[in-house]
């Protein structure tokens, strides 16, 4: 009987721990996605600047910067 009670008490703690672990993993993935999106945006800006030259598309690059 005592063993069963101990197991029941452990279950919520274990569940909370797994939930916290999952939230931490999700947060790490979200942070990485933000980094990737920022890097892609910077690359797009570089490409726009490279290809724009004086063709008047610099306003598009400026719009992406903001």
At 38 the pLDDT is 97
For 18-57, give one letter per residue: b (16+ CB within 10 A) or e: eeeeeeeeeeeeeeeeeeeeeeeeeeeeeebeeeeeeeee
Per-residue pLDDT tens digits for 20-49 = 999 999 999 999 999 999 999 999 999 999
The alpha carbon of 61 is separated from its chain's Cα centroid by a whole number of angstroms, namely 24
Highest mean pLDDT among 10-14, 17-21, 33-37, 47-51: 33-37
State the average pLDDT over residues 4-19. 79
Q: What residues make up the domain containing 37? A: 2-49+58-65
Total number of domains in the chain: 1
Residue 56 has pLDDT above 60, yes or no: no
Res. 5 pLDDT band, cuts 50 70 90: confident
């Amino acid at each position: 009987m005592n063993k069963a009670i101990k197991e029941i008490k452990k279950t919520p703690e274990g569940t909370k721990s797994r939930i916290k672990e999952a939230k931490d993993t999700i947060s790490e993935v979200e942070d990485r996605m933000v980094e990737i999106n920022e890097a892609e945006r910077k690359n797009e800006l570089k490409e726009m600047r490279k290809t724009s030259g004086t063709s008047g598309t610099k306003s598009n690059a400026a719009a992406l910067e903001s």
